[in-house]
């Protein structure tokens, strides 16, 4: 049994009562947590931050999805522009019946960029119901502190931040050459406490605000592997970092326990998903280091829903060798996914392959774009 399948719920706290409703066994006999995925009538995904803002991007529509592009601004905002940076942030609005819920997923690299773009796009953080961080990389949580400094006083009192697990708080490092490392950020638990934000950590899937759900930890069951990216340091330094005692049955090596940097496997990266009425699942991978195919399989397994309407976000295939990319594309084409929305780290290589192999499914993305899915 691999170490991902051994680990269970990390810490109850705010997650109590929100996790899986039971367990099933997959074809290999492994235990899989199961949830009742809420059904939403509609969903919109607004790209707050991505790697570029293309004012000439196509405005062509696709069946069943309304696509809105931001070309520029008028009036007092006409001399201002959307900022783009290495990172991702998505504003998610869902509706069922007469109820709307809003979630902000990831925060890009800097507070300056996310705050600028939220203002220009007319998105009010005071209306948010929950926050989500997909994983512990600086380009996904870097803007969180600046965002909270500016907007927290106007936001709901009982504000939760959903994370895949303790791993999100680990120190990340980037190789700097000659065996040296540079810091790649560390999510600050003390900063969250000072901002009165409650972290909700779970390796099992969770329902968020009765509309969305997380996949929990993504088991590695396909041909995919984690492509080279960051290094991680397990343990705490000066009261910050990740607590190895919170990793349930995970067995750390002596090197890991000694604080030696090791290649990052993103043990607790999770996806945020919706069950869209009459359409199927919308799976948002953010980065998908554990594999987009693995993530799709996980979303299906924890819900029992096979149909995937859309795969959205970063696919982390930019560093993929050509033969590896070809194999992933061949398998993705077999997954019966209606649309793919590649962002952030998906890579120009993936875009070219998708244009060639599945042009009917490809939807181009850019900072500011909004995609509205209806039942």
Two tokens at 321? 């060798």
According to DSSP, the residues that pair with 341 across neighbouring strands are 312
**What pLDDT is stored for residue 177 in this prediction?**
84
Q: Which of 230, 190, 251 is nearest to 3 (CA)?
A: 251
Q: Which of 98, 114, 128, 60 is nearest to 364 (CA)?
A: 60
Phi/psi of residue 231, each to 5°?
-110, 160
Q: What percent of the chain has pLDDT over 70?
A: 91
| Mean pLDDT within 85-90 | 98
Place of tokens 């773009």: 117
| Mean pLDDT within 114-139 | 98
Q: Is the pLDDT of residue 150 over 60?
A: yes
117 contacts 82 by C-beta, under 8 angstroms: yes
165 contacts 11 by C-beta, under 8 angstroms: no
337 contacts 311 by C-beta, under 8 angstroms: yes
Give 15's pLDDT tier (boundaries 50, 70, 90): very low
Give the pairing type, strands 370-374 and 42-49: antiparallel
pLDDT tens digits, one per residue of 179-226: 899 999 999 999 999 999 999 999 899 999 999 999 999 999 999 999
CB count within 10 Å of CB 56 equals: 8
**What pLDDT is stored for residue 24 in this prediction?**
63
**What pLDDT is stored for residue 9 in this prediction?**
31
Which residue ranges form the domains of the chain, and what is each CATH number? 43-374 (3.60.15.10)
- The pLDDT mean for the chain works out to 91
| Mean pLDDT within 323-343 | 97
20 contacts 205 by C-beta, under 8 angstroms: yes
Q: What percent of the chain has pLDDT over 90?
A: 81
**What pLDDT is stored for residue 26 in this prediction?**
61
| Mean pLDDT within 333-341 | 97
Give 12's pLDDT tier (boundaries 50, 70, 90): very low
Whole-prediction pTM: 0.93
4 contacts 219 by C-beta, under 8 angstroms: yes
Q: Rg of the chain over CA atoms, in angstroms? A: 19
264 contacts 171 by C-beta, under 8 angstroms: no
Does 257 or 173 have the greater pLDDT score?
A: 173
């Amino acid at each position: 049994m691999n170490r991902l399948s051994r680990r269970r719920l990390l810490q109850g706290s705010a997650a109590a009562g929100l996790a899986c409703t039971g367990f099933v066994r997959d074809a290999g006999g492994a235990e899989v947590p199961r949830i009742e995925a809420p059904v939403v009538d509609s969903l919109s995904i607004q790209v707050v931050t991505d790697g570029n803002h293309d004012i000439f991007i196509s405005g062509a529509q696709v069946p069943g999805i309304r696509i809105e592009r931001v070309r520029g601004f008028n009036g007092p905002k006409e001399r201002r522009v959307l900022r783009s940076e290495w990172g991702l942030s998505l504003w998610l609005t869902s509706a069922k019946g007469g109820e709307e819920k809003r979630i902000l997923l990831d925060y890009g690299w800097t507070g300056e960029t996310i705050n600028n773009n939220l203002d220009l796009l007319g998105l009010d953080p005071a209306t948010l119901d929950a926050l989500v961080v997909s994983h512990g990389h600086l380009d996904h949580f870097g803007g969180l502190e600046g965002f909270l400094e500016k907007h927290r006083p106007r936001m709901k009192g009982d504000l939760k931040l959903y994370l895949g697990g303790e791993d999100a708080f680990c120190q990340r490092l980037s190789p700097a050459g000659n065996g040296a490392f540079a810091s790649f950020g560390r999510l600050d638990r003390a900063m969250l406490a000072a901002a009165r934000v409650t972290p909700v950590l779970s390796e099992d899937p969770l329902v968020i605000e009765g509309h969305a759900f997380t996949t929990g930890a993504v088991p590695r069951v396909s041909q995919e592997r984690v492509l080279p990216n960051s290094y991680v340091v397990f343990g705490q330094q000066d009261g910050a970092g990740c607590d190895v005692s919170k990793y349930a049955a995970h067995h750390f090596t002596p090197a890991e326990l000694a604080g030696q940097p090791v290649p990052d496997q993103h043990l607790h990266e999770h996806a945020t998903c919706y069950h869209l009425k009459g359409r199927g699942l919308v799976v948002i991978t953010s980065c998908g280091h554990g594999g987009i195919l693995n993530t799709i399989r996980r979303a299906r397994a924890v819900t029992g829903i096979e149909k995937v309407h859309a795969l959205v976000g970063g696919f982390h295939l930019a560093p993929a060798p050509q033969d590896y990319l070809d194999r992933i594309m061949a398998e993705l084409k077999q997954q019966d996914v209606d649309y793919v929305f590649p962002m952030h780290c998906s890579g120009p290589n993936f875009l070219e392959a998708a244009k060639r192999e599945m042009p009917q499914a490809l939807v181009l993305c850019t900072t500011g774009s909004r995609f509205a899915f209806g039942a």
